[in-house]
């Protein structure tokens, strides 16, 4: 198995190479450059030109690309034009914020969706099932920004139950208990919003898997043994129905770092989604390219991780 | 025949499926008995209700969409009236079932040993170690040469024949009185078929269980059955001891079935087929002879208005009177004139 994992990792190298080329060229195709925002009627064009020259932006694209890739393989992602800080420091800080938010969101999502999916599947066509299906379609139909704004207005602005902006109370001393509590407190509302919006897929998947499984032959075999229906569900139906959910787990785990642009922007939560969108708006090339490369790498890693997870939970799948 | 030998008596069983809020009987007024140490074969083409009959006995149909009326008497209790919990005490212990497709009848995520052990957990008082031993013993009994290893394997690691043996091991794990085998060999290739049938007969000789064998394979019937019931469109149309049925088939449907078996001795390159198609459940004629539409060249007067089973010789029952006037379409000039009976 480890041989296969190694081979998959090696195959990633050319994939990442192609991705890097695409990312770099597309980023360069965007109109404007990091200094466009500095231009005012009083700006001396020669000064801008000088800045461009100094940043190497006047070199041919392949030279810029070679320089970038060269630094990349040495672990140097460059310096943000906007923050004047190393890119890895910025991503490290925002990434950690996003990681906590996503982790809580995904845990909440599964805590809500798996029991609901199981209930809807087991008692399908009952009133309970219809209510769950109705809920899942409503949560699917609501646009992210509508629900996020609604929650923000209701629980943050009107009821003052939760903070409306940021990832931590600025007055808290880093490392203290209050600081950690403040961090968690800031996570709750965006995490709940994210979880509610994401439940539909898991509920519907699980529900239909369970309904299908009920009439499968091996379930009939189990019933013909005379074991109680409760056991038929727990030992035969649910385990098999959770397989497709497990198949997505790899992507879910690596997707934790991706963040949600809408949620983070609306809740003013300084995470990766927000970083990505503001970097694009300010043409912060070094951050954009680093982020896209990171997302690409995470996607490849997610698919590998999913395969490894599947080979653990499903005996029919073995990585040879 | 001593009545004490009787294991199961089905009386006027109707099993209906709900289609758009109306129930349509897939099994229509079927009566049968099964005796100890007997293999009763139920034959018929796809959709004739034979599998529905089998699953009705053990109560595995979806209760919300089926209606079972009539009696399924086992040890003086009517299985048709039992609740799910009551049935669970019978299933696997007194009556067990072997299914058609061994490739899908086992849980892909569970080890073979655990799947066999499951029914022992609920029906016996054996300790965990005793159960493990019993599993090995059962695997040996169904002719698996390396039981210890197989018990730890998953279904996909076994061949179709091996899996069917495992399913048989599950079925016999609590030494049931009645085994319902629903096309147990249909999905297997011919050499494995013979092995599985031999295994079933061996097991029956050991335990004296009664077996209901559902099949559409007349070769299998000839090989193993003691008695045969032929079903068509939800009804039993002929029932007889196996030799009697094969030597002296009466009902036009039974005769047509035999006639449609290709014969090597014949030079004919065409298969003999039965005209028409099996009417679907919703379009079944509920009165008159249900087979009449497929033997349209037999005049209407030959059929009974309400066909019933007639005993033509001891133990040999035939539905309707049309058999007396039946001839194949190719043999013209038979009984052209029908005299009203």
User: pLDDT per residue over B110-128, tens digit each?
Assistant: 999 999 999 999 999 999 9
Note whether A126 contacts B: Cβ–Cβ < 8 A: no
Per CB-CB distance under 8 Å, the chain B contacts of A313 are: 109
- Residues A40-68, mean pLDDT to the nearest whole number: 77
Interface contacts A/B by beta carbons within 8 Å: 80
How much is the pLDDT for A134? Answer: 94
Q: What does the pLDDT look like over B278-309, one tens digit per residue?
A: 788 888 877 888 888 888 888 888 888 888 88
Note whether B119 contacts A: Cβ–Cβ < 8 A: yes
Does residue B84 register a pLDDT over 80?
A: yes
How much is the pLDDT for B47? Answer: 82
Note whether A217 contacts B: Cβ–Cβ < 8 A: yes
- Residue B207 phi, psi dihedral angles, 5° rounding: -100, -20
* Structural domains of chain A, with CATH: 93-283 (1.10.3720.10)
Per CB-CB distance under 8 Å, the chain B contacts of A226 are: 87-93, 119, 122-123
As given in the structure block, the two tokens for residue A316 are 């029919």
Does residue B228 register a pLDDT over 90?
A: yes
| pLDDT confidence band for B153 (50 / 70 / 90) | very high
Q: Do residue B105 and residue A239 have CB atoms under 8 angstroms apart? A: no
pLDDT higher at A101 or A259: A101
How much is the pLDDT for B341? Answer: 44
The predicted model scores a pTM of 0.80
Note whether A220 contacts B: Cβ–Cβ < 8 A: yes
Q: Do residue A315 and residue B91 have CB atoms under 8 angstroms apart? A: no
Q: For residues B63 and B80, what is the distance between their CA atoms, to the nearest angstrom?
A: 11
Note whether A234 contacts B: Cβ–Cβ < 8 A: no
Note whether A221 contacts B: Cβ–Cβ < 8 A: yes
| Angle at A266 (CA atoms; ends A253, A270), nearest 5 degrees | 60
B153, B111 in Cβ contact below 8 A? yes
How much is the pLDDT for B139? Answer: 93
In chain B, which among 38-67 make CB contacts under 8 A with chain A?
58, 60, 62
Q: Do residue A236 and residue B107 have CB atoms under 8 angstroms apart? A: yes
Share of chain A above pLDDT 90, in %: 17
- Rounded to the nearest angstrom, the minimum Cα separation between B155 and chain A is 9
* Among A225, A313, A315, the residue to mutate for chain B (most B Cβ within 10 A): A225
Q: What does the pLDDT look like over A173-227, one tens digit per residue?
A: 777 778 778 888 888 888 888 888 888 989 999 999 999 998 889 999 999 998 9
The DSSP H or E segment spanning B69 is strand B66-74
Q: For residues A97 and A167, what is the distance between their CA atoms, to the nearest angstrom?
A: 7
How much is the pLDDT for A39? Answer: 65
As given in the structure block, the two tokens for residue A303 are 């698919």
- Among A66-70, A212-216, A267-271, B325-329, which range has the highest average pLDDT? A212-216
Note whether A281 contacts B: Cβ–Cβ < 8 A: no
Q: Do residue A226 and residue B167 have CB atoms under 8 angstroms apart? A: no
Q: For residues B28 and A196, what is the distance between their CA atoms, to the nearest angstrom?
A: 51
Q: For residues A168 and A101, what is the distance between their CA atoms, to the nearest angstrom?
A: 12
Q: Do residue A218 and residue B104 have CB atoms under 8 angstroms apart? A: yes
B38, B293 in Cβ contact below 8 A? no
> What interface predicted TM-score (ipTM) does this complex get?
0.84
How much is the pLDDT for B1? Answer: 43
Burial zone of A254 (CB within 10 Å; 0-12 exposed, 13-18 middle, 19+ buried): buried
The DSSP H or E segment spanning A136 is helix A127-141
> CA nearest B58 in A: which residue?
A224
DSSP structural state of residue A166: -
Q: Do residue B91 and residue A225 have CB atoms under 8 angstroms apart? A: yes
Mapping DSSP onto H, E and C, the string for A31-75 reads CCCCCHHHCCCCCCHHHHHHHHHHHCCCCCHHHHHHHHHHHHHCC
| pLDDT confidence band for B4 (50 / 70 / 90) | low
Per CB-CB distance under 8 Å, the chain A contacts of B104 are: 216-218
* Structural domains of chain B, with CATH: 3-225 (3.40.50.300), 235-325 (no CATH)
Length of chain A equals 320
Does residue B339 register a pLDDT over 60?
A: no
Q: Do residue A228 and residue B122 have CB atoms under 8 angstroms apart? A: yes
B53, B42 in Cβ contact below 8 A? yes
Share of chain B above pLDDT 70, in %: 95
DSSP SS3 for B235 = strand
- Rounded to the nearest angstrom, the minimum Cα separation between A126 and chain B is 12
- Residues B97-102, mean pLDDT to the nearest whole number: 88
pLDDT higher at A256 or A36: A256
Q: What does the pLDDT look like over A73-94, one tens digit per residue?
A: 887 777 777 777 888 888 888 8
Q: What does the pLDDT look like over B23-81, one tens digit per residue?
A: 888 888 899 999 989 999 999 888 888 889 999 999 888 888 889 999 999 988 899 88
Note whether B135 contacts A: Cβ–Cβ < 8 A: no
């Amino acid at each position: 198995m480890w041989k296969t994992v190694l081979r998959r990792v090696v195959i990633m190298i050319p994939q990442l190479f192609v991705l890097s080329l695409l990312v770099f060229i597309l980023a360069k195709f965007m109109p404007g450059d990091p200094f466009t925002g500095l231009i005012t009627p009083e700006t001396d064009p020669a000064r801008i030109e000088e800045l461009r020259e100094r940043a190497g932006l006047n070199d041919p694209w392949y030279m810029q690309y070679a320089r970038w890739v060269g630094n990349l393989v040495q672990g140097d992602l460059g310096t943000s034009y906007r923050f004047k800080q190393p890119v890895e420091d910025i991503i490290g800080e925002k990434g950690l914020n996003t990681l906590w938010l996503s982790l809580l969101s995904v845990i909440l999502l599964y805590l809500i969706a798996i029991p609901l999916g199981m209930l809807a599947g087991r008692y399908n066509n009952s009133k309970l099932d219809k209510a769950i299906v109705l809920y899942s379609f409503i949560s699917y139909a609501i646009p992210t920004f509508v629900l996020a704004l609604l929650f923000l207005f209701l629980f943050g602005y009107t009821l003052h139950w939760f903070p409306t902006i940021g990832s931590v109370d600025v007055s808290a001393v880093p490392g203290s208990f209050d600081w950690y509590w403040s961090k968690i407190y800031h996570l709750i509302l965006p995490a709940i919003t994210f979880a509610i919006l994401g439940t539909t897929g898991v509920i519907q998947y699980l529900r239909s898997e369970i309904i299908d499984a009920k009439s499968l032959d091996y379930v009939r075999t189990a019933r013909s043994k005379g074991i109680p229906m409760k056991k038929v569900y727990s030992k035969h139906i649910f385990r098999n129905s959770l397989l497709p959910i497990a198949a997505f787990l790899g992507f879910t785990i690596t997707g934790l770092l991706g963040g949600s642009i809408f949620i983070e922007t609306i809740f003013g939560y300084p995470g990766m989604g927000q970083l990505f969108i503001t970097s694009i708006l300010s043409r912060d090339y070094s951050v954009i390219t680093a982020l896209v490369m990171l997302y690409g790498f995470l996607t490849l890693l997610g698919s590998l991780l999913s395969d490894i997870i599947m080979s653990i939970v499903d005996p029919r799948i073995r990585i040879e | 025949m001593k009545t004490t030998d009787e294991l199961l008596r089905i009386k006027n069983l109707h099993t209906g499926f709900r289609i758009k809020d109306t129930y349509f009987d897939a099994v229509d007024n079927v009566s049968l008995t099964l005796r100890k140490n007997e293999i009763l074969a139920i034959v018929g083409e796809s959709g004739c209700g034979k599998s529905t009959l089998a699953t009705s006995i053990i109560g595995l149909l979806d209760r919300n969409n089926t209606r079972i009326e009539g009696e399924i008497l086992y040890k003086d209790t009517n299985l048709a009236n039992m609740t799910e919990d009551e049935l669970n005490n019978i299933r696997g212990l007194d009556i067990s079932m072997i299914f058609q497709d061994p490739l899908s009848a086992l849980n892909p995520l569970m080890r073979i040993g655990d799947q066999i052990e499951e029914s022992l957990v609920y029906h016996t008082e054996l300790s965990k170690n005793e159960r493990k031993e019993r599993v090995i013993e059962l695997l040996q009994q169904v002719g698996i040469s390396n039981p210890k290893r197989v018990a730890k394997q998953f279904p996909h690691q076994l061949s179709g024949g091996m899996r069917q043996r495992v399913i048989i091991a599950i079925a016999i794990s609590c030494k049931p009185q009645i085994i319902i085998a629903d096309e147990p060999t249909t999905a297997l290739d011919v050499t494995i078929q013979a092995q599985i049938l031999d295994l079933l007969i061996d097991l029956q000789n050991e335990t004296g269980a009664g077996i209901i064998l559902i099949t559409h394979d007349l070769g299998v019937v000839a090989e193993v059955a003691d008695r045969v019931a032929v079903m068509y469109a939800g009804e039993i149309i002929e029932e007889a001891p196996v030799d009697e049925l094969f030597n002296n088939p009466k009902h036009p449907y039974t005769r047509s079935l035999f006639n449609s078996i290709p014969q090597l001795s014949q030079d004919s390159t065409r298969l003999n087929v039965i005209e028409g198609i099996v009417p679907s459940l919703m379009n079944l004629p509920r009165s008159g002879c249900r087979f009449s539409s497929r033997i349209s060249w037999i005049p209407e007067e030959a059929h009974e208005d309400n066909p019933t089973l007639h005993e033509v010789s001891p133990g040999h029952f035939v539905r309707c009177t049309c058999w007396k006037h039946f001839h194949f379409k190719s043999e013209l000039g038979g009984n052209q004139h029908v005299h009203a009976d």
